[in-house]
Amino acid sequence: MPDTSKIVSVKDAVAAIRSGDRIMVGSFGNAGYPENLVETMTASDLKDLTIISNDLGSPGIGLGKFLANGQIKALIGNYYNWNPDVARAYNAGEIDVCLVPQGSFAEAIRAAGVGIAAFFTPTAAGTVLGKDKETRDFNGRPHVLEHAIHADVALIKAYKADELGNLVYYKTARNFNPLMAMAATLTIAEVDDIVPVGSLDPECVVTPHLFVNMIIKKGEK
Amino acid sequence: MPDTSKIVSVKDAVAAIRSGDRIMVGSFGNAGYPENLVETMTASDLKDLTIISNDLGSPGIGLGKFLANGQIKALIGNYYNWNPDVARAYNAGEIDVCLVPQGSFAEAIRAAGVGIAAFFTPTAAGTVLGKDKETRDFNGRPHVLEHAIHADVALIKAYKADELGNLVYYKTARNFNPLMAMAATLTIAEVDDIVPVGSLDPECVVTPHLFVNMIIKKGEK
Amino acid sequence: MKEIVPGDIARARIARRIASEFMGRDRTMIINLGVGIPTMVANFIRSDRIFIQAENGMMGVGPKAAEGEADSRLINAGREPVTETPGCSYFDSAASFGMIRGGHVDATVIGAFEVDQTGNIANWIIPNGRQLGVGGAMDLVSGAKQVVVAMRHNGSDGRPKLVKACSLPITGFHEADFVITELGVFRFIEGVLTLQEIAPEIDLTRLTELTEAPFVAAADIKVMDS
Amino acid sequence: MKEIVPGDIARARIARRIASEFMGRDRTMIINLGVGIPTMVANFIRSDRIFIQAENGMMGVGPKAAEGEADSRLINAGREPVTETPGCSYFDSAASFGMIRGGHVDATVIGAFEVDQTGNIANWIIPNGRQLGVGGAMDLVSGAKQVVVAMRHNGSDGRPKLVKACSLPITGFHEADFVITELGVFRFIEGVLTLQEIAPEIDLTRLTELTEAPFVAAADIKVMDS
């Protein structure tokens, strides 16, 4: 193991997060959701969080706990129909919600990770979700300008990490995780297993270690 | 094997290419260069080609053969210092050359593949290579607008294909190949080996089969 | 109002008709299936040339997982546990929507609240304060090569869903290619809504009454398989 | 003109000084090395916290391949056959430049024709009609967190390379953080070119004569390791 290990306790990892932070959380439904990190955060005093995620789980379940706990200031994501608490809180003026079409959302997170400031996509041009966005024709078709979506912290769920922080994922639990791993100032990966350096096939590493700042092992305190 | 096999002879593959086409060719130096496809094309009557590639090999070697043969109308790429014939032909007015910084070049090819019309990048802002490009500040820093780079045909070098056309690559021979595989109307992959469906790990497929139209096996006619 | 075709039969008919549309094509087809009737299309596909893409990051989605074999980490975009097919692959959401936006998905099958005579589709929200989500709907209708709308011909209140102009927020403009209901197969041909097949239960007069959008009947109109 | 420091010694000194700069940092460093002197930096790194990225698609580049073990498919960005290190990984060029442009590479070490007093770098072309290539130079200088210029202090004709204003086409504006030559270690501190170390062979007066760009000497200036 290298002398600067990234492996930390979930408590130390969460101690690096501040109230008011913009937090990306990987997952699609409950697939690829960093359970320990979220559990620990929802048991903390952290508040005024902006949660950037595909959805917000179900009422009181998964990411839904953040909302049930009143820890959320704003949401950036694309699909909250699985958790009707979101529409309720939004209508009551308790939280802000910014809806971005799922493909544009994924691409905007990637853009932040790879240093692209903004991009033109045909998705949503002319619709309610595109109406406040700069619109321009390319090849005779309207496109909207979508800006990169950054975060202070990304909470990632991976299947395995090696001791350097190289990550691989598990089936459709991959989803937004590799994108968010690139797009935050601090990336914390929760993994099922930590394996020795050299155990992962270099051709199959999905997230190279340079994107990962901290690793916690699922189920450990 | 499915009843609509993509596996064809190199002759049949090259027969689908037309003079005047925009051709992407994977490779960095000679790593990841589809040798049989290029050999067959350079032995053909194809001309007025626009070759979109990182570099143009060395004089008379690899992609350099296209130039030695007078088959090139224009080049889009980023590094021709390994092949001084390119500067010579350009200065003599024999070919057009469009230089795009390597990172912007890679990203513009990806953009074409994923339906992004254009993107803002800080690379080259204010320089000779950015001077004719729309420039805009984001976060106080100038960015240039780069447009997607499409092709009619992509010539890809992969390590293995399964019979559906899923591809994996070999070490740094990966380079531009997976990007170009997405960015052309017709994608032809030259591979070292063709393996049965189910042989490749679904987590490690780099180019899913939907991007591949034809497969030829290296060394077969 | 008595239904002309009962719900279960209607849904299966629509799904089967769409599957046969894809199976009738002489080439590989990459398709994406939305929730509801679209998902049922998979049950009727008998072809090794048709591959199902799920926008949450999978190419080659297999049948629903059997009871006891479900893995919450292997799901489709409707959060249902599914299975693998040989030659499948996994990728992240940006790559997945890259396939969709880049025009590499041959067809998306989606449900809709309304489709209008210009091919506009409204399927993402009914503004009633209870929904807050778009998912991949806008990306799919603007990106897929063909958009196949699978929907009941009329709402539960009898109101036509093929309308002159959508009243609900639009998902995509002029994107519908096929609209397949239990009463007919409609296709936009050069922008004109054209009836290609009609259900055996009704005639053209009755179908016209049940459809707000004007349409033309194809010269070679056929009876839809029941 | 007689060289103050012979070429071989100069190049090794520059490379070794840059390696020690990185080894002196108490954290993981991801570095990218250009061709020429920058590539030599790898020879002096003794640390398991420093990882070399190659922009042609590799993280964790190892030493040059031994004669007979070279594989033309495993190369660095200078087309030299290299080896793997444990924990290395491969990726495509868009992902590679995503790392660079996205600010995930801690430092890039590059050669240069000229660096000026504002930190502008000219290293991609001498307009003489014989060169036509930019490679990743512009991406690297604009994307890497720190830009370390490794170059001889003067050209072969004695002309200073640290100049008032670049005369050649610019690669990136105000991007240089360190300029390390065989005669000194310079750092841009709040925009001011500051000499931090000076070679044992010369004094400040002589160095000032050999340098066109104005610079200040740090209060705690040190003698550079020879």
DSSP string covering A62-109, please?
TTHHHHHTT-EEEEEESB-TT-HHHHHHHHTTSSEEEE--HHHHHHHH
Judged by a CB distance cut-off of 8 A, whether residue C97 touches chain A is yes
b/e for D27-53, b at 16 or more Cβ within 10 A? Answer: ebbbbbbbebbbbbbbeebeebbbbbb
Alpha-carbon span D105 to D28, nearest angstrom:
11
CA geometry: angle C107, C113, C116, nearest 5 deg: 75
Give yes or no for residue C225 having a pLDDT over 90: yes
Nearest CA of chain C to the CA of B192: how many Å? 18
Give yes or no for residue C21 having a pLDDT over 50: yes
> Percent of chain C beyond pLDDT 70?
100
> A32 in the Ramachandran plot: left (φ > 0), alpha (ψ -120 to 50) or beta?
left
CA geometry: angle B74, B79, B80, nearest 5 deg: 65
Give yes or no for residue B3 having a pLDDT over 80: no
Confidence of residue A4 (pLDDT cuts 50, 70, 90): low
Nearest CA of chain A to the CA of D183: how many Å? 33
Q: What is the pLDDT of residues C182-212, one digit of tens each?
A: 999 999 999 999 999 999 999 999 999 999 9
- pLDDT of A221 reads 65
- pLDDT of B1 reads 46
Judged by a CB distance cut-off of 8 A, whether residue B210 touches chain A is no
| Distance from the Cα of residue A136 to its chain's centroid | 29
Alpha-carbon span A105 to D164, nearest angstrom:
45
Low-confidence ranges of chain D (pLDDT < 70): 1
Contacts of D103 in chain A (CB under 8 A): 115
Verify whether the Cβ–Cβ distance C94 to A104 is below 8 Å: no
Judged by a CB distance cut-off of 8 A, whether residue C78 touches chain A is no
Which of C73, C94, C134 shows the shortest C-beta gap to A171? C73
Binding-face residues of A in 11-70 toward D, CB within 8 A: none
Give yes or no for residue C158 having a pLDDT over 80: yes
Q: What is the pLDDT of residues B5-48, one digit of tens each?
A: 999 999 999 999 999 999 999 999 888 899 999 999 999 999 99
b/e for C49-60, b at 16 or more Cβ within 10 A? Answer: bbbbbbbbbbbb
Does D212 map to a domain? yes
The DSSP bridge pattern shows strands C146-150 and C114-116 to be unpaired
Cβ atoms C214, C164 nearer than 8 A: yes
Dihedral sign, CA of B138, B139, B140, B141? negative
- pLDDT of A30 reads 84
Does C30 map to a domain? yes
Structural domain boundaries, residue D138: 7-223
Beta bridge partners of C141: none
| Cβ partners under 8 Å of residue B128, min gap 6 | D169, D170
Alpha-carbon span D53 to D56, nearest angstrom:
9
D55 is catalytic: yes
Give yes or no for residue B120 having a pLDDT over 90: yes
Contacts of B200 in chain C (CB under 8 A): 87, 89
Does C2 map to a domain? no
| Cβ partners under 8 Å of residue B103, min gap 6 | B121, B123, D55, D93, D97, D100, D101, D136, D138, D139, D143
Judged by a CB distance cut-off of 8 A, whether residue A208 touches chain D is yes
> Percent of chain D beyond pLDDT 90?
96
Dihedral sign, CA of A181, A184, A188, A190? negative
Binding-face residues of A in 83-142 toward B, CB within 8 A: 107, 111, 114-122, 138-139
Alpha-carbon span C44 to C27, nearest angstrom:
18
Give yes or no for residue B87 having a pLDDT over 50: yes
Confidence of residue B221 (pLDDT cuts 50, 70, 90): low
The total domain count for chain D is 1
Does C1 map to a domain? no
Q: Rounded to 5 degrees, what are φ and ψ at A65?
A: -65, -35
Which of D75, D132, D139 shows the shortest C-beta gap to B81? D132
Q: What is the pLDDT of residues A106-137, one digit of tens each?
A: 999 999 999 999 999 999 999 999 999 999 99
Contacts of A209 in chain D (CB under 8 A): 51, 59, 87, 89
- Which helix (H) or strand (E) segment holds residue B105: the answer is helix B102-114
Q: What is the pLDDT of residues A12-48, one digit of tens each?
A: 999 999 999 999 999 998 888 999 999 999 999 999 9
Q: Note the maximum CA span of chain B.
A: 56
Domains of chain B, by residue range, sit at 10-100+149-217
* Averaged pLDDT for residues A66-81: 97
Give yes or no for residue A1 having a pLDDT over 60: no
For domain A10-100+149-217, give the CATH superfamily: Glutaconate Coenzyme A-transferase (3.40.1080.10)
- pLDDT of C118 reads 98
Tokens in use for C204? 């053209």
Alpha-carbon span C137 to C120, nearest angstrom:
13
Tokens in use for A195? 């394996």
Q: What is the CATH number of the domain that holds C171?
A: 3.40.1080.10
| Cβ partners under 8 Å of residue D220, min gap 6 | none
Judged by a CB distance cut-off of 8 A, whether residue D59 touches chain A is yes
- pLDDT of D2 reads 73
Give yes or no for residue C145 having a pLDDT over 50: yes
One-letter identity of residue A3: D
Alpha-carbon span B51 to C218, nearest angstrom:
46
pTM reported for the whole predicted model: 0.98
- Confidence check on the interface: ipTM exceeds 0.90, yes or no: yes
Active-site residues of C, by number, are: 55
CA geometry: angle D37, B55, B19, nearest 5 deg: 175
